[in-house]
Chains A and B, each alone.
Chain A
């Protein structure tokens, strides 16, 4: 979008409106879950398994119960009495809330101590005695699939092995033929390690049950409060919890990134505890619990292949993947998509043939898979194709930019049907790459690199031209536990022309209170300062599936626009009544209707709002309110081209990102300031796993490190000063032409960084490096090259 339709005072789309949520945060007046205090509240702390796989022989709670301040200890046996010791995952698998006889991963919940304060609760945890008998541990997903591997999910009827699912997309035979016929093929094993969102706020809940009213209220770190409410109602209906009496409040959330989508056992135990004790219960994870037990991202073992003809035309893609899901499938993908949107793997290229397959595997690790700002496995897909393109360019002796430009889906081909079944809505891939090259001075960098190589210095330039797929999603294909992935907005315009907007998604930092107000400002011309956005309270917000996978703007944003338009339709009738003309004779511009050809006959949205309550036309209902449940016709496909420049220290292997240019295209932009902030943050969460973060396990299933000492999150020192640019290719089917942006940068950054580091070493014969690219990996690659 090039032109602003509204004034700065109205602050519609395209204005960098300062955030409405900031005044409370900068004063320390946010209200996060751990800030919630209820009268008579007790604290809960969790006893966790030191073993990755063990039989529980006994749990002795006597000493803990004798400790001053300890009120109760809850075990699997307690929950079993209420048949609450198991729960469904959001992928329709099953998960223990508390075990009765076996633990399946290190740090699994074993018992919960309830006490008068958090210090006594922690003391109580240390006093619970659990007798374990260690069992054989399955950590390597490849070994888990071997015949004779211990069957981990013997609790599941009909489960004969450790395979969770096999999923595939594309035409296998045609793809194989294309590979046989190709002039060039490249093949690369790529492992994307397990990582953790590590939002600075950990997860937690304050659960309060009013036994008289049968009312359960939960303040919890939830990215999907409505879905969580429904799950609680389904899981605990048999003990008397009824959905109209369950209220989930997701207050201020200190970062989500997917880590607050799953339902963790701790939440359910706290709810059981408030029902059992009659007191409000607070449970806040510590960081060790958060890193060791909560949902992770990635853990994808891919074998990826690309075929091309002599002239550099890319022809076919093939990827085989082993996905380590841990002890249960709790990945939170849409139901029909156990491997998420992985089949976006043909990326930005016009490939004629592709086949990809994923085997999901059980191991003795915590469950999860997609929690890390990844748009349902898009990061893995982008990493594979963008690495392969670079390897192919190296083999063909072509510049990686040239190879990309030659093979991009051209702008005129949109809407483009990909060979793996997606309909890309819009794109101009060459436009983004060319802009990135121009902004960073690509040709000069190539020259500099050549000069540096002659001096023995290592400098690399890496490109990633990614295509995202977000905005899940159309109800025919997308649901979670059967709940269709529409989203919603409700708008009430008050008599004085101010508005209240309630949305089915909620913010964990994305700035919804500001951007959703801007959508209404754009549509109705009500100044953004006079629009209040509420979210996250299931008693007041309309039903929605929550904020993750960059779906807020594509789905709930669209719902907000559609609800606004319903209001506008009614406003037009009221305006016609006020101005005594036919509705057809009115022209709208944000904020007012004017009678065609009579510029001084005007009815403002404020006058219309007042009339809706004081002077509404006969035959029309009073009031000015609307609600919309938006079922998107398609997903949206943001894209971008990133160029990274690195310098490598030959002696130590250290990699320094010197420059990073990110050109993004997320369609029409609601708030440029916020979009840029999302990109900065996303790039940092792309850099982190590329260079630093990783969760690994030893053979006994012990997680290596459970603190920020070992889980290496970037500080301001490691993070470069990101540079950004944009092109604008609106989505043709989204009412605002917007596409979503939250995860683009995390999806696109890692491959650009890896490509840059490999490029720095490519003349030494290095073709690939696995992430995280530690100094030692680089040093070793240099040593092995013999240079």
Chain B
């Protein structure tokens, strides 16, 4: 499998990259980790005439906490997220997610920015970002702007990024006291896209009641989906087995799966229900200080 011809650009700053995107227009495509784009080019499902490789831009690979946010540079590799002690200890839901994306070799190249900017509802980060209520930073000719994650995914492979904007950073609020999150993925084999995946974050108040909940769903609709009704049902109540089961049911209802080789719509919906229960249960344990 051989990609079509293209002109290759390797800007060394974000500004340069944005200027290239602006001047080259629709023919241009940003190359980040390339683990989705390059196979698509080899299958000639994507044939960009201009390829803008942003891997040479310094300063976009970082994981740090500042001003109440965890900020992750767009070029941060999945492997680095997976292995980060900060992530493992304080953001286990992110570790859950990065750990199950593709395989170790792909994770060495694949980036969090690419995973989100691709806009593929089958990718794993989007649901998790919904659950942690992240925002992404888009940098364009007029500088940077923050986009709330709920406003980011517009349709299949379509995001709120303008054609000449680059996703440069992911911002995640530092978890509140008493909160815990988990990502649970059902897959046909290791590294495959999910049959279904569920990311859940819960916050417990001093009485053990759920003061906030958020749930994101992977690969069960045209975009990653927030299970809003399930979140509402949980909020303000004790996280009992029954309450979690009911949230599972509501999350299943919120999903919009279609039948394909990964499973029937009926099965996927049932799995959203099951995985939501598992994710919430694990999130609760973590909120209570467990693993």
Q: Which residues of A contact B (CB under 8 A)?
A: 118-119, 122-123, 126, 286-288, 651-652, 654, 692, 704-705, 709-710, 712, 714-715, 717-718, 774-776, 779-780
A718 adjacent to B1 (CB under 8 Å)? no
A692 adjacent to B274 (CB under 8 Å)? no
A122 adjacent to B192 (CB under 8 Å)? no
B274 adjacent to A774 (CB under 8 Å)? no
Question: Pick the contact of A712 from B1, B186, B192, B264 — CB < 8 Å?
Answer: B192
| B190 at the binding interface (Cβ < 8 Å) | yes
B274 adjacent to A714 (CB under 8 Å)? no
The 10 closest A-B pairs by CB, nearest first: A122-B2, A717-B190, A776-B267, A651-B274, A286-B1, A776-B263, A712-B189, A119-B2, A715-B190, A704-B261
Question: Pick the contact of A775 from B44, B192, B195 — CB < 8 Å?
Answer: B195
B195 adjacent to A715 (CB under 8 Å)? no
* Distance, CA A109 to CA B87, complexed state (A): 51
* Distance, CA A445 to CA B261, complexed state (A): 35
Smallest CB-CB separation from B277: which chain A residue?
Answer: A651
* Distance, CA A704 to CA B260, complexed state (A): 10
Which of chain B's residues have a CB closer than 8 A to the CB of A718? 189-190
A775 adjacent to B261 (CB under 8 Å)? no
Which of chain B's residues have a CB closer than 8 A to the CB of A712? 188-189, 192
Which of chain A's residues have a CB closer than 8 A to the CB of B271? 652
* Distance, CA A775 to CA B103, complexed state (A): 21
Which of chain B's residues have a CB closer than 8 A to the CB of A714? 189
Which of chain B's residues have a CB closer than 8 A to the CB of A775? 186, 188, 195, 263
A715 adjacent to B191 (CB under 8 Å)? yes
A715 adjacent to B189 (CB under 8 Å)? yes
| B4 at the binding interface (Cβ < 8 Å) | yes
Which of chain A's residues have a CB closer than 8 A to the CB of B212? none
* Distance, CA A109 to CA B1, complexed state (A): 16
List 12 A–B pairs whose Cβ atoms lie within 8 Å, in order of A's numbering: A126-B44, A651-B274, A651-B278, A652-B271, A692-B188, A705-B261, A712-B188, A715-B189, A717-B189, A717-B190, A775-B195, A779-B270
* Distance, CA A654 to CA B187, complexed state (A): 10
Smallest CB-CB separation from B271: which chain A residue?
Answer: A652
B188 adjacent to A774 (CB under 8 Å)? yes
* Distance, CA A651 to CA B270, complexed state (A): 9
A-B contacts besides A654-B186, A692-B188, 15 pairs, CB < 8 Å: A118-B2, A119-B2, A123-B5, A288-B1, A288-B43, A652-B186, A652-B271, A692-B189, A710-B261, A712-B189, A715-B190, A715-B191, A718-B189, A774-B188, A779-B270
* Distance, CA A714 to CA B190, complexed state (A): 9
Q: What is the 8 Å Cβ interface bit string for chain B, positions 42-61, against chain A (1 contact, 0 not)? A: 01100000000000000000
**Smallest beta-carbon distance A614→chain B, Å:** 58
* Distance, CA A718 to CA B267, complexed state (A): 22
**Smallest beta-carbon distance B121→chain A, Å:** 16
* Distance, CA A718 to CA B192, complexed state (A): 12
Which of chain A's residues have a CB closer than 8 A to the CB of B4? 123, 126
Smallest CB-CB separation from B188: which chain A residue?
Answer: A712
Which of chain A's residues have a CB closer than 8 A to the CB of B2? 118-119, 122-123
**Smallest beta-carbon distance B20→chain A, Å:** 25
Smallest CB-CB separation from B47: which chain A residue?
Answer: A126
**Smallest beta-carbon distance A665→chain B, Å:** 32
Which of chain A's residues have a CB closer than 8 A to the CB of B1? 122, 286-288
* Distance, CA A123 to CA B263, complexed state (A): 36
Q: What is the 8 Å Cβ interface bit string for chain B, positions 171-209, against chain A (1 contact, 0 not)? A: 000000000000000101111100100000000000000
**Smallest beta-carbon distance B252→chain A, Å:** 13
Q: What is the 8 Å Cβ interface bit string for chain B, positions 84-114, against chain A (1 contact, 0 not)? A: 0000000000000000000100000000000
Which of chain B's residues have a CB closer than 8 A to the CB of A717? 189-190
Which of chain A's residues have a CB closer than 8 A to the CB of B270? 779
Which of chain A's residues have a CB closer than 8 A to the CB of B5? 123
Residue from the set B2, B191, B192, B261 with the largest chain A CB neighbour count within 10 Å: B2
Which of chain B's residues have a CB closer than 8 A to the CB of A122? 1-2
Report if A780-B189 is in contact (Cβ < 8 Å); known contacts: A122-B2, A710-B261. no
* Distance, CA A119 to CA B103, complexed state (A): 28
* Distance, CA A59 to CA B75, complexed state (A): 46
* Distance, CA A97 to CA B243, complexed state (A): 64
* Distance, CA A612 to CA B192, complexed state (A): 63
Which of chain A's residues have a CB closer than 8 A to the CB of B188? 692, 712, 774-775
Which of chain A's residues have a CB closer than 8 A to the CB of B44? 126
Q: What is the 8 Å Cβ interface bit string for chain B, positions 264-277, against chain A (1 contact, 0 not)? A: 10010011001100
Which of chain B's residues have a CB closer than 8 A to the CB of A287? 1
* Distance, CA A287 to CA B42, complexed state (A): 12
Smallest CB-CB separation from B5: which chain A residue?
Answer: A123
Which of chain B's residues have a CB closer than 8 A to the CB of A654? 186
Which of chain B's residues have a CB closer than 8 A to the CB of A126? 4, 44
* Distance, CA A484 to CA B190, complexed state (A): 45
Smallest CB-CB separation from A780: which chain B residue?
Answer: B267
**Smallest beta-carbon distance B120→chain A, Å:** 13
Which of chain A's residues have a CB closer than 8 A to the CB of B186? 652, 654, 775
Which of chain B's residues have a CB closer than 8 A to the CB of A779? 267, 270
Smallest CB-CB separation from B263: which chain A residue?
Answer: A776
Which of chain A's residues have a CB closer than 8 A to the CB of B190? 715, 717-718
Smallest CB-CB separation from B278: which chain A residue?
Answer: A651
Smallest CB-CB separation from B196: which chain A residue?
Answer: A652
Which of chain A's residues have a CB closer than 8 A to the CB of B275? 652
A652 adjacent to B264 (CB under 8 Å)? no
* Distance, CA A704 to CA B271, complexed state (A): 23
**Smallest beta-carbon distance A780→chain B, Å:** 7
* Distance, CA A710 to CA B190, complexed state (A): 13
* Distance, CA A126 to CA B5, complexed state (A): 12
Which of chain A's residues have a CB closer than 8 A to the CB of B189? 692, 712, 714-715, 717-718
Smallest CB-CB separation from A286: which chain B residue?
Answer: B1
* Distance, CA A651 to CA B103, complexed state (A): 25
**Smallest beta-carbon distance B3→chain A, Å:** 9
Which of chain B's residues have a CB closer than 8 A to the CB of A123? 2, 4-5
Smallest CB-CB separation from B193: which chain A residue?
Answer: A709
**Smallest beta-carbon distance B41→chain A, Å:** 12
* Distance, CA A119 to CA B3, complexed state (A): 8
Tell me the B242-291 residues at the A interface (CB within 8 Å): 261, 263-264, 267, 270-271, 274-275, 278
Smallest CB-CB separation from B1: which chain A residue?
Answer: A286
* Distance, CA A360 to CA B5, complexed state (A): 46
B264 adjacent to A776 (CB under 8 Å)? yes
* Distance, CA A122 to CA B42, complexed state (A): 10
Which of chain B's residues have a CB closer than 8 A to the CB of A652? 186, 271, 274-275
* Distance, CA A705 to CA B1, complexed state (A): 15
Which of chain A's residues have a CB closer than 8 A to the CB of B192? 709, 712
* Distance, CA A750 to CA B270, complexed state (A): 28
**Smallest beta-carbon distance A715→chain B, Å:** 5
Smallest CB-CB separation from B190: which chain A residue?
Answer: A717
Q: What is the 8 Å Cβ interface bit string for chain B, positions 73-91, against chain A (1 contact, 0 not)? A: 0000000000000000000
Residue from the set B43, B188, B278 with the largest chain A CB neighbour count within 10 Å: B188
Smallest CB-CB separation from A704: which chain B residue?
Answer: B261
**Smallest beta-carbon distance B198→chain A, Å:** 12
**Smallest beta-carbon distance A71→chain B, Å:** 17
